Structure 1
Amino acid sequence: MSTVLSTRPPEDDRRPGELGFRELLRWVWRQVTSMRTALILLLLLALAAIPGSIIPQTGVDSLKTSNWQSDHPKLTPVYERLGLFSVYDSAWFSAIYILLMISLVGCIVPRTFHYWRGMRAKPPAAPRNLSRLPDHAAYTTTDAPEVALERATALLKRRRYRLSVSTGSTTGDGGDSVSAERGYLREVGNLIFHLSVLVVLVGFGLGSMFGYKGGVILLVGDDFGFSNNLTQYDEFKPGSLFRADEMEPFSFKIDDFDVDWLTTGRRAGMARGFQSHLTYREGRDSPEKKYDLRVNHPLSIGDTDVFLIGHGYAPTITIKDADGNISGGPTPFLPTSQSFQSIGVVKAPDAEPTQIGLEGEFYPTVAFSDQTGSYYSLLGKPLDPMISMLVYTGDLGMDDGSSQSVYALDKSKTTMLTKKDGTPYRLDLRPGETAKLPNGLGSVTFEKAPGVDGGVQRWNKIQISQTPGKWIALTGVVMALIGLLGSLFIRPRRVWVRARRQGDGTLVEVAALDRSGGGDVSVVVDELVASLQGPQSGKQQQREDES
């Protein structure tokens, strides 16, 4: 009795359509790396960036964020849970970004190999029936087929075509043929473009991991300066792999600041252009150098760039308490309008017998509105500057050791000074004027800064960034442009020439095809036929044009 072994595979207990673990992973990978998914993720990333441009961000402007949170106490807890005050650092934004990067890499790498193979591939063999191509021609000659093909090969080689010769036994069409193709640089352009995306991603990745970005508000004048270390920054955002010992050792000060004001038109009195005159030093022992810092014209020191991104006024306000103690100095006020109407805070935590805080606005060229019954700034140029501030006394919240913004005043434990009729006690001062505080608390003086336009000190907002991968990213962008130009303007075309015996002569067929679509290659066919015929142009020629 013989035993028959079964060759059937073991039974699969899965239901129809059910995927195993490996099949599931393969399916997920194909979905993530599809071009459709990449486009959807790109759209989601654009939509996710909208809250970052509408809602104030703590890493960009902490004061504006704090003011927004104070004005919207009900929405603030919800936005904080969603991470909307720091969109680009949130987990959900990072998830979209990482998925997009994975999807792009999964899309680009296979296509890169595809274009690499296409760039190195030989021209395909001639079709069996060349007369079916839109642009073709045929003529007869007394030359042998080998002679006609040798002439065609030499001619196409001179015109820098890539060639491939096929015999009739290979193609089965009864004749030998020459296949030629040019425009391979189009495939090179596609290859460069896809590689450039990876280069840009690597460049931005290096910059975000090893670089940093910081900002500082620096007063204009020889008495103020900046040294590139962490304690000098007002705001600082390092990369995940940033090291402080890699910061460039430099320092600078702003000698002077020029503003080009508009004098005519509807926007008269607004700033049209401005530049800072810097004196900087690279390292401790390096000589001092001069540089005119302008918008979009940064100062580059090694891998670090210094940008001028804003400016404003810093009124010099002095507070004298009841015991004669003096505190104050130039205080930066932050602009809230194009006419440089600005808000600011002045604090005197050491004043006796109680701490004093001032909060209000600065008007470079003050004007009064009868409709609103309030002051406003008519022009950004300081023609008639004035401060208008409220006075608060009590605990300013600066004794508990907690960090507090110099642009915000903690009024939770303070009392606002009022007049006898209960209205707020407001200080309206111009440069050189002094106002006494009630109840013998002291006085407040708006000092006139000598040698300064309008008597008001200025400040500049300086952004300092170090992006190690910026040249890699720039190289990737240039590569993308070169690749895109190659893909758009290089027209790949194929040409075939076949020769075979027909009666007493040789039938030579010529056809061409434009691979980019829409190109007219009939001229190429006519020129090639005329060159191949040579002195035998009087021979019989047959054109077989089809619609």
Structure 2
Amino acid sequence: MTSLKPTAPASSDGPGSSAPRLSPLGWVRWAWRILTSMRTALILLFLLALGAIPGSLLPQRGVSIEQVQNYFFENPDLAPWLDRFFLFDVYSSPWYAAIYLLLFVSLTGCVLPRALAHYRLMRARPPKTPRRLDRMPYSATFSTDATPDEVLTQARPLLKGYRIEADTDSLSAEAGYLRETGNVLFHLALLALLVALAIGSFFGYRGNMLLVEGDSFANTLPSYDAFHPGHAVDPDAIEPFWLRLDDFEAAFVQDGSFSGQADSFSADVTYREAPGEVEQTHVLKVNHPLQVDGAQVYLLGHGYAPSFKVTDSRGDVVLDQPVPFLFRDTFTFTSDGVVKVPDSAPEQLGFTGVFLPSAATAESGDLVSDFPEARNPRVVLKGFVGDLGLDSGDSQSVYQLYAERMTQVGESPAMAPGDTWELPDGAGTIEFTGVSDYISLQVASNPSRVPALVSAIAAVVGLLGTLFVQPRRVWVRARPGADGRTVVEVAGLVKTEGAASLARFHELASGLNQRLR
């Protein structure tokens, strides 16, 4: 008895051979196919949206540098680690730019060939009538005394909106090309949106600053607290406008469960579009920016700037101005700030302070603020004497006091406007002279705003076409029957799921039957 054993097919490359290895060009082609696949584009789009989540949860330097600094104050251990991963600069971070560029390349390689293929398909004729129409998802057959030519002639008006291809005994019609057109339009618009955002990032700029009531701002680089220009932007050639904050009003809900919540913010500003131009006025509100010379000035937030008058040990007034304090929360507007007095003698003075806009005594006996409006303003200061470190060459934040070379000399009582605190050992005095409002502004210039808007609208239009247009094909065949009458076959095919188009095919068949009676 002979046993049969399965044997592997012989390899043409001889024993011990393996599959051929890809050449470097083959690896490049393989990587390109993977990168330009629709699956990769969707994954990158998801990663882009996922990467934007930290930008919405954490304060961003490009929006409000004050909130970022406040986050560092409140989270001194966590904030430096988050900063290492650019989570306070998400949209300008290297990893976000990498996802953005990969998505751009992926969409380009995926959408353009698809658009060309769709263009060729739109120019092609509808497919010929199949031999077996009864195998289609919808099919109907009936007999009529009309001739085959009369049947096809009566069928044409019912196929209005279809592209029709006539054969000897049948009509082939196709409609719903706008579905794929909408799909291509959506992806092309998404690609155009990415291009517009890139152009705006390259040729635009944005900057942030604080402006106290009564102060003015000129659109020059030294006037900004933070400035983020595009690579093609010359900071010396930006729009030369000027504005002044005349008045700021913040309204808060006074009563009820929403007491203390913000109701409205408005800032009255005076501006000139260029030196020598006529002054104009504008009411600046949230989501109601000032349009000036191609740039937009946005109102981002507000806070309080207590005013101080500092006299040194020699009796000289070395500081007399408001100092912006950063609020801890928007419900009470309890704010922290730093007062630096580098011109005092014989030693420099520094103060850290807590500002309470509506001071009240809590049940624990502590002084707190119970409302964000400046109803009963109080400030508590800690005084330091020594070297502020401003001459060391190291950069310093105006909202931090570097007290390594300073000695704390005491803490003031709760000071109301007009109160003066005399520092120990005759080091000087500091007077709390009043409170002003300040606003945080962002100036943004983006030449691609209109193209980005048009791209977004086109994407929505394309998406609507994809959702609501159904591609479908219809065939009508008319042949002489064995009994001398004409046998009419109507069939329909829907490329997407849904019973609505099948019912439309039935209406077409019924309408044709009615016409032929």
How far apart are 1:139 and its partner, in Å?
2.1
Distance, in Å, in 2 between the alignment partners of 1:529 and 1:73 is 75
Which runs of structure 2 are paired with 1:46-445 in the superposition (5 Å)? 46-52=49-55, 59=62, 62=65, 82-84=85-87, 86-153=89-156, 155-156=157-158, 159-167=160-168, 176-221=169-214, 224-326=215-317, 327-338=319-330, 339-371=332-364, 373-418=365-410, 425-445=411-431
Describe the SS at the equivalent of 1:382.
coil
Q: Secondary structure at the match of 1:106?
A: helix
- Distance in 2 of aligned mates of 1:528 and 1:59: 60
Indicate the larger mover: 502-511 or 106-115. Answer: 106-115
Relative distance call for 1:416 and 1:166 in structure 2 (3 A) is same
Distance in 2 (alpha carbons) for counterparts of 1:534 and 1:270: 68
**Cα RMSD, aligned residues only:** 2.7
Question: Shift in Å at residue 444 of structure 1?
Answer: 0.9
Shift, 1:359, TM fit: 0.5
Report how far residue 518 of structure 1 moved.
Answer: 0.7
CA separation of 1:514/1:55 partners in 2, compared to 1, >3 Å: closer, same or farther?
Answer: closer
Q: Give the Cα separation in 2 of the matches to 1:55 and 1:383.
A: 31
- Matched residues, percent identical? 42
1:210 and 1:243 in contact (8 A); partners too: no
Say if 1:369 and 1:525 are closer, same or farther in 2 by CA, change over 3 A.
closer
CA distance in 2, matches of 1:366, 1:103: 58
Counterpart amino acid of residue 152 in structure 1:
A
Provide, for residues 396-415 of structure 1, a one-character-per-residue CA deviation record: whole Å limited to 9, x for no partner.
11234544322221111111
Q: CA deviation at 1:100?
A: 2.4
Could you list the per-position Cα deviations for residues 459-478 of structure 1 after superposition, in whole angstroms to 9, with x for gaps in the alignment? 01111101111111111100
Structure 1 residue 528 and structure 2 residue 512: aligned? no
Of residues 121-130 and 83-92 in structure 1, the stretch that sits farther from structure 2 once superposed is 83-92
Shift of 1:197: 0.8
- 1:43–1:14 Cα change, 3 Å: farther
Q: Compared with structure 1, are the counterparts of its residues 67 and 183 closer, same or farther at alpha carbon in structure 2 (3 Å cutoff)?
A: closer
- Give me the whole-angstrom Cα distance separating, in 2, the residues matched to 1:133 and 1:355: 91
Number of residue-to-residue matches in the alignment: 502
Q: SS of 1:379's equivalent?
A: coil
- Mean CA deviation greater in 389-398 or 105-114: 105-114
For the 8 Å contact 1:161–1:182, the answer to whether it is kept is yes
Q: Secondary structure at the match of 1:315?
A: strand
Cα distance in structure 2, aligned partners of 1:57 and 1:487: 36
Matches within 5 A, 1:459-538: 459-503=438-482, 504-533=484-513, 536-537=516-517
Cα gap change, 1:57/1:378 in structure 2, threshold over 3 Å: closer, same or farther? Answer: same
CA shift for structure 1 position 368: 2.6
Q: CA deviation at 1:216?
A: 0.8
- Which of the numbers 21, 25, 39 marks the counterpart of 2:24? 21
Displacement of 1:530 in angstroms is: 4.6
Instruction: Verify the 8 A CA contact 1:190 1:486 in the aligned structure 2.
Output: yes
User: Displacement of 1:499 after TM fit?
Assistant: 1.2
Q: Shift of the alpha carbon at 1:254? A: 1.7
Counterpart Cα distance in 2 of 1:89 and 1:219: 29
What is the Cα deviation at residue 535 of structure 1? 6.4
Paired amino acid for 2:117: H
What does the per-residue CA deviation read over 1:489-520, in whole Å, with 9 as the maximum and x for residues that have no partner?
22333221111122222211112223332133
Q: Distance in 1 between matches of 2:178 and 2:465?
A: 7
AA in 2 matched with 1:519: A
CA 1:319 to 1:359, structure 2 compared with 1: closer, same or farther past 3 Å? same
The CA deviation at 1:233 is 0.8
Distance 1:211-1:109 versus aligned 2 partners, 3 A rule: same
Distance 2:308 2:261 in 1: 25
Aligned-partner SS, 1:520 = helix
1:391 alignment partner, SS class: strand
